[in-house]
Amino acid sequence: MIALPFILNTLFNFVIGLLVAKFLGPAEYGRYALALSVGSVLQTLGLDWLRLSATRFYSESDRASRPEIRATLNVTFAVIASLAIAGAIGIAFSGLKLPLSPGLVALAIGTAVANGLFEFSAALVRARFLDRAYAALVISKTILSIGLTVGGAWYFGSATMALVGLVFSVVGSLVLSHNVLDDEAARPSLADTGLVKRYARYALPIVLANVLYQAVPMIDRGLASQVHNFAEAGQFALAFDIGIRIVGAIGSAVDVLLFQMAVLAEKTFGTEAARQQISRNMGLVFAVVIPVVAGSWLILPSFEHLLVPVSFRGPFAHYFTLMLPAMLCFALMNFSVGPAFQISDRTLPLIIGGLVALIANGLAILWLPASSDASTFALAQSVSSGAALAVMILFLFTLTPMWPSPRDIAGALVSAGLMLAAVTPLRAMAPGFVTLVLEIGAGVSIYALGVLAFDVGRLRSLLVPRLQDWSLWRSAAGVVARSRTRVG
């Protein structure tokens, strides 16, 4: 149930992102995307550690028996958010000369606070396994974003007004869900500085690693806007934004359930059970991400033809293809490999991986041949992500054995290979709706058959007994029905 809002959110985020790009155009979208990237880094740096702490240390039982946890999280968030808003106001009236206008930088900080509050609130709801409340929160934000963010882009044609709409859509969704989010028992006076220190020790290394990873696309967008122009930066950014939404949302939909299961296993059965769950999770995430990335490439011509705004077509497919490795590595680092270090409280490898990503990105920009467009930056992001993932995989050897099943990995790879071999010829068809449906239908069917044939994630082992039970139930129901007919 909890994964369904992610799937719906993914669908609508596609619509929102593409419509905003359509109404803003490449240059204004370049400003919008760079401001969002800055806001994302600031959100991660200042507020994401509270979301991570809520996911790790908060639960329904804690809400009832330990209100000081929620009080500490609430007060800490309020203090940081107040300082950030004060800083945004100061920058807005500073007159500083920046790559973005002071107003856009201030709005970037505003989006960081708003999105940080939303993610923090969503984490609190997820930690309590309130599936319906979580769905309502996500869906209300999505609906408001369509009206306010897309509406601001359409009516004003301005990155500034689109960002204002984004902030108001987040705030509106939280207001609508205030009943489930409120906790009167978590009085501010219960806040505990000792808990703040504990949460910081746990989460800040993860936050630092994430900031390093997120700095890569932010830097590359900024450089693209300076070396070329905001229009080229916008073309480059839209391809990455859509790609990351695909793999990020699908990966998150799986991870949000699987990692919570690992945390629950740790609390219920101990550390070893959590590690076993993480090992299973790694294989399952891999089996989900691989066909998503491969399938994205297969449907790219028809997807671009049908959905990408005309002013972005051509460059979109070019940059999307160059950054496919970055998207794959991003998903595997965040949802497959990364949780192994989180559950083990071993965050140094995450930081080292982030440093490697940042250094590899800089070296790739220096060493790759210069291009007349942003291709160098697109390739650099793929090099950066690949280097970071390789380092993190090496660090897995330092943990207590926590590896996915080789059978799951091999089965997923072979199934994806069969899907590519069968569907690639369809890319030669004229791009359009029919081609897209054929590609998706054939790809999903072939990959699903491969997964069942190789029993990836023990799915076949789990499904067959259920199907047999269903068959027995149907047979028994048929016998009863026939006997009633004879009696009648």
Per-residue pLDDT of the chain (488 residues; tens, 9 = 90+): 555 666 677 677 778 889 999 999 999 999 999 999 999 999 999 999 889 888 888 877 778 788 888 889 989 999 999 999 999 999 988 888 888 889 999 999 999 999 999 989 888 888 877 778 888 888 899 889 999 999 999 999 999 999 999 999 999 998 888 888 887 777 888 888 888 898 888 888 888 888 998 999 999 999 999 999 999 999 999 999 999 888 887 777 777 666 666 666 666 666 666 667 777 778 888 888 999 999 999 999 999 999 999 999 999 999 999 999 999 999 888 888 877 787 777 778 888 999 999 999 999 999 999 888 999 999 999 999 999 999 988 988 887 666 778 888 898 899 999 999 999 999 999 999 999 999 999 999 999 998 888 887 776 666 655 555 545 445 544 544 455 455 44
Token match 């993932």: residue? 389
- 276 and 413 Cβ atoms separated by less than 8 Å: no
Please report the pLDDT score of residue 348 as a whole number.
84
Whether residues 116 and 237 fall in one domain:
no
Please report the pLDDT score of residue 408 as a whole number.
84
Whether residues 228 and 163 fall in one domain:
no
Whether residues 12 and 124 fall in one domain:
yes
Whether residues 112 and 82 fall in one domain:
yes
Which residues are CB-neighbours of 382 under 8 A, at least 6 positions away? 322, 323, 324, 325, 326, 329
State the residue range of the domain holding 310.
Answer: 202-454
Whether residues 215 and 182 fall in one domain:
no
Residue 197 lies in a domain: no
Structure tokens given for 34 = 């760079």
Instruction: Give the chain's domain count.
Output: 3
- 331 and 252 Cβ atoms separated by less than 8 Å: no
Structure tokens given for 86 = 């004060």
Nearest to 182 by CA among 174, 193, 170: 174
Which residues are CB-neighbours of 419 under 8 A, at least 6 positions away? 291, 294, 295, 298, 442, 443, 446, 447, 450
Please report the pLDDT score of residue 476 as a whole number.
46
Whether residues 210 and 90 fall in one domain:
no
What is the DSSP annotation of 123-148?
Answer: HHHHHTT-HHHHHHHHHHHHHHHHHH
Whether residues 480 and 434 fall in one domain:
no
Please report the pLDDT score of residue 479 as a whole number.
45
Whether residues 378 and 448 fall in one domain:
yes
Whether residues 243 and 183 fall in one domain:
no
Residue 432 lies in a domain: yes
C-alpha–C-alpha distance, residues 328 and 251, integer Å: 10
Full 3-state SS string of 442-463? HHHHHHHHHHHHCCHHHHHHHH
Structure tokens given for 216 = 């890569």
Residue 196 lies in a domain: no
Residue 146 burial by CB count (10 A; 0-12/13-18/19+): exposed, middle or buried? middle
What amino acid is encoded at 109 in this protein?
I
Whether residues 470 and 409 fall in one domain:
no
Rg (the chain; Cα; Å):
24
Whether residues 234 and 323 fall in one domain:
yes
Whether residues 221 and 275 fall in one domain:
yes
